[in-house]
Structure 1
Amino acid sequence: MAEIVARFSRRGPASEETLEAVHAALDELWTDAEFLSDLDRMAFTTAVIEASTNVIRHAQPDDGAELQLGVDVTVSAERLEARISEIGARHSDPAAEDAAMPEAGAENESGWGLALIQALVTTVTFEREGGSNVWVLRRNASNHSG
């Protein structure tokens, strides 16, 4: 297993304020991972923010639950990984939806998010853990093939 060189965790209400805190934490994280290419940092940041935004806009709270957004990021020299949790959410699986990019100029932008995330990272998985839906995003560092 590769040595973790940088990490952060954030959890809060599924809101714009929590999203801003995640974005700030990512910006700070890159100071500890300057060895990564700009492309890796930019692509991974975009994927994490897009998945987090998806939680805020589309996740449905389970009966009586307060919807929370949790983001855990780890970085090694070989891989960037984010676990984005829809805490207290109804079970759903966005991966079961068609993730093809909509036609250019399409009126409905639905479907762009997952397709964009898939284009930016090496793998995207979606799991159910307890009362949470969890997105797992992994991007292999461009200077490594593993």
Structure 2
Amino acid sequence: MTEILARRGYHGPATDEAIEAVHDEMDALWEDASFVPEMDRMTFATAVIEAAANIVQHALPVAEKPVELDVDISVRPACLVARVSAHNAREPFANDMRADMPAEDAESGRGLALIEALVTTVTFERQHGTNTWILTRESTPAQGE
């Protein structure tokens, strides 16, 4: 297993406040992993926040329990990894999983396409009422650091 150099996370209700908490965790992560190049930080953070925001805005509860957001972010020697999960959530519709960019006049639907443009891989898994998107971005520390 690859060594984890830095790790941060968030777990709580899938609310607007959760997005700010994830932002704070990302900022703290970069303090712990200052060797990650700025471009990798910006693009990866944008993808993680977009995935979390999609859950907050669009995830529907599977029962009376509210949807919970879980974000686990780790920095490995050559890779950034985030597991962004929606607990107690219905399975997304197939068209929610499409990464095609919508028409220019569309008001939504760009999230997954944006995420896929910013990271190396995006995978999805569903287990026991939990939807999880795994985002990875290859990253190599800047020379001289």
**One fold, TM greater than 0.5?**
yes
Match of 1:65 in 2: 65
Closer, same or farther: CA 95–83 of 1 in aligned 2, 3 Å: farther
Match of 1:35 in 2: 35
Closer, same or farther: CA 94–73 of 1 in aligned 2, 3 Å: farther
Question: Structure 2: 5+ residue runs without aligned partners?
Answer: none
3-state SS of paired residue (2:35): coil
CA drift of 1:95 comes to 7.3
Distance 1:42 1:77 in 2: 18
3-state SS of paired residue (1:4): coil
> 2:35·2:141 contact (CA, 8 Å) conserved in 1?
no
CA drift of 1:8 comes to 1.2
1:120 aligns with 2:133: no
Say which is worse superposed, 42-51 or 89-98, in terms of deviation: 89-98
Tell me which amino acid in the other structure corresponds to 1:68: E
Tell me which amino acid in the other structure corresponds to 1:90: R
Cα RMSD after superposing both structures: 1.8
Distance 1:100 1:34 in 2: 33
Tell me which amino acid in the other structure corresponds to 1:122: T
> 1:6·1:75 contact (CA, 8 Å) conserved in 2?
yes
Question: Structure 1: 5+ residue runs without aligned partners?
Answer: none
> 2:91·2:131 contact (CA, 8 Å) conserved in 1?
yes
Distance 1:107 1:69 in 2: 30
Q: What is the correspondence of 1:1-146 to structure 2 with a 5 Å cutoff?
A: 1-92=1-92, 97-103=97-103, 106-142=104-140
Instruction: Give the TM-score of the pair, scaled to structure 2.
Output: 0.90
- The percentage of aligned residue pairs carrying the same residue is 49
How many correspondences in the alignment? 142
CA drift of 1:61 comes to 0.5
Instruction: Give the TM-score of the pair, scaled to structure 1.
Output: 0.90
